Amino acid sequence: METEATVSEFQQMLSARGVSRRSFMKLCGAVAVAAGLSELAAPRVAQALESSVIGAAKGKLYPVIWIEGASCTGCTEAFAKLEAPDAASIVLEMISLNYSETLSAAAGESMELAKEQTIKECAGNYILVYEGAVLEGWGGQALRVADKPGTEHLYEAAESAAVVVALGSCAVNGGWMGAHPNQAGALGVQEYLKKQGVGTPVVNVPGCPANPEWLVAVLADVVLLSLAPSELDLTSEGKPAGIFGQTVHDNCERRGHFENGEFVYEFGSKEEALGYCLYPLGCRGPQTKANCGVVLYNNRRSWCVQAGAPCIGCCEANPNDPGHNWVEVNTPFYKRHRDLRIGDWMVQPGTIALGITGILAAALVVHGFGMKITGRMDGGADFEKVRSWDAKHPDKSIGKYDAADVPNDKKEGR
């Protein structure tokens, strides 16, 4: 029992790091909410977190390989900014981050060896976090690591993983690289693995960057609650349902102003200082599914709307279609419409409306000429000299007609 962590040891460790029991429980509550559990699940999460610290009976840290694909490193950066639990605690006391191009002490060949060993020795028992897009351009050479195409690295690491976390919108479906003209051949992890016949389950966590608390929620489910990938509550697109089940608009702090019709019409205006709704400036909150307004960013410091910026829909990502990425779907960001693209042509909804109006007008003109040419317009219907009602009821008629026009039989009554 000597090696089993007790709560008091754990608390000592927390207090040594200046984390109070209270703020720890607050975190557990947050993790629970982020994971789609109720706040009441906090004690359960706490217990799971506590029993996984160093020295616990099941002392092994859960191995994780974190591969940078075609990324900006923004999701790693976001992860490194986690405060509670801080990134150091996670990589020292929760997971064994055996391969990370951004954080690992090793480099070069030694780094690749660490990855290979993890794949071999922990087969079926490690998590692969893949950040950035998969690039198929030039046979995968658009992304070269250790003298190999990036796609090979993904394939090798994904094949034996327990679960693959596609972290960030780029990993989900290519992100901005999938936007026209998609020169590098970007696509998402799920689609690539499907094409390659790799059956490892994929959890899609979009966002640009993905909120690190969403990753922690997934890690907590897999590592700490030991949920099998099939037990995770995912949407039809493989995204955690608790996080990506509702729209940004649903949980927006400015929602009340939307209901009241109080809007910001220009950046940096008085209305902005009053915290009015950003809908007229193109806010994509109503159509973007994520719980940003609940979890917030950077240790709950703020989030886009709170700082005065309309949502640009960075969580929009269809894992099966690189063309349906957040940039393509949402630009121009600050307008309420989106640009449509037919091949290389950019078209605006207004242009389409004008086009349709023009086609309709032209069709009507053609139709008119056609009618004229075929003679169907000539004279039109016969002119009615006497209204038929008047003709039937001459006694009640107030119309004035030439006598010659009134049919005789009608004059004489029925």
Distance of alpha carbon 149 from alpha carbon 164, whole angstroms: 19
Q: Is 251 in the site for other proteins (CB under 8 A)?
A: no
**322 vs 367: CA distance, rounded Å:** 43
CB-based burial label for 18 (10 Å; 0-12, 13-18, 19+): exposed
From candidates 135, 154, 189, 205, binder to other proteins by CB under 8 A: 135
Question: H or E segment at 7?
Answer: helix 7-16
Q: Is 72 in the site for other proteins (CB under 8 A)?
A: yes
Residue 147 within binding range of other proteins, rule CB under 8 A: yes
Distance CA 78, CA 87 (A): 10
Rg (CA), the chain: 33
> Least distance from C-beta 350 to other proteins, angstroms?
13
Q: By CB under 8 A, name the one of 7, 20, 58, 113 that touches other proteins.
A: 113
Identify the residue whose tokens are 């078209």. Answer: 347
Determine if 11 is a binding residue for other proteins (CB under 8 A): no
Question: Using CB under 8 A, which of the segments 38-46, 221-229, 255-263, 266-274 binds other proteins?
Answer: 266-274
**In angstroms, what CA-CA distances link 399 with 44, 228, 412?**
91, 88, 17
| Binder of other proteins out of 25, 103, 241, 406 (CB under 8 A) | 103
- The answer to the question of residue 336 lying near other proteins (CB under 8 A) is no
Q: Looking at residues 352 to 411 of the shown chain, list those that interact with other proteins (rule: CB under 8 A).
A: none
**Parallel, antiparallel, or unpaired: how do β-strands 202-205 and 148-149 relate?**
unpaired
Size of the site for other proteins (CB under 8 A): 106
Which one of 4, 77, 231, 253 is in contact with other proteins (CB under 8 A)?
Answer: 77
Q: In which element (H, E) is residue 95 found?
A: strand 95-100
Count how many residues are written for the chain.
Answer: 414
d(CA 198, CA 200): 6
203 versus 312: smaller Cβ distance to other proteins:
312
Q: Is 86 in the site for other proteins (CB under 8 A)?
A: yes
* Contact range with other proteins by CB under 8 A, out of 341-349, 370-378, 380-388, 400-408: 341-349
Q: Distance between CA 132 and CA 97 in Å, rounded?
A: 18
Q: Which stretch binds other proteins (CB under 8 A): 21-29, 225-233, 250-258, 327-335?
A: 327-335
CB distance 130 to 65 below 8 Å: no
Q: Site map for other proteins, 199-228, x if CB under 8 A?
A: ---------xx-------------------
Query: Judged by CB under 8 A, which of 19, 179, 193, 217 binds other proteins?
Result: 179
Question: Closer to other proteins at the Cβ: 120 or 396?
Answer: 120
Choose, by CB under 8 A, the member of 80, 227, 241, 406 that binds other proteins.
80
Minimal distance, residue 235 CB to other proteins, in Å = 23
What burial letters (b/e) apply to 331-353, b meaning 16+ CB within 10 Å?
bebeeeebbeeeeeeeeeeeeee
Residues 275-304 that bind other proteins (CB under 8 A): 297-299, 301-304
Alpha-carbon distance of 192 to 151, in angstroms, equals 9
268 binds other proteins (CB under 8 A): yes
> What is the closest distance, in whole angstroms, from the C-beta atom of residue 242 to other proteins in the complex?
20
Q: Exactly one of 16, 40, 57, 403 binds other proteins (CB under 8 A); which one? A: 16
Q: Considering the complex, what minimum distance in angstroms separates the CB of residue 192 from other proteins?
A: 16
Q: Which of 19, 42, 93, 189 binds other proteins (CB under 8 A)?
A: 93
The closest of 119, 189, 131 to 161, measured between CA atoms, is 119
Among 25, 51, 114, 241, interactor with other proteins by CB under 8 A? 114
The Cα 223–Cα 242 span in angstroms is 18
In angstroms, how far is CA 194 from the centroid of its own chain? 20
Give the H or E element holding residue 166: strand 163-167
Cβ closer to other proteins: 162 or 391?
162
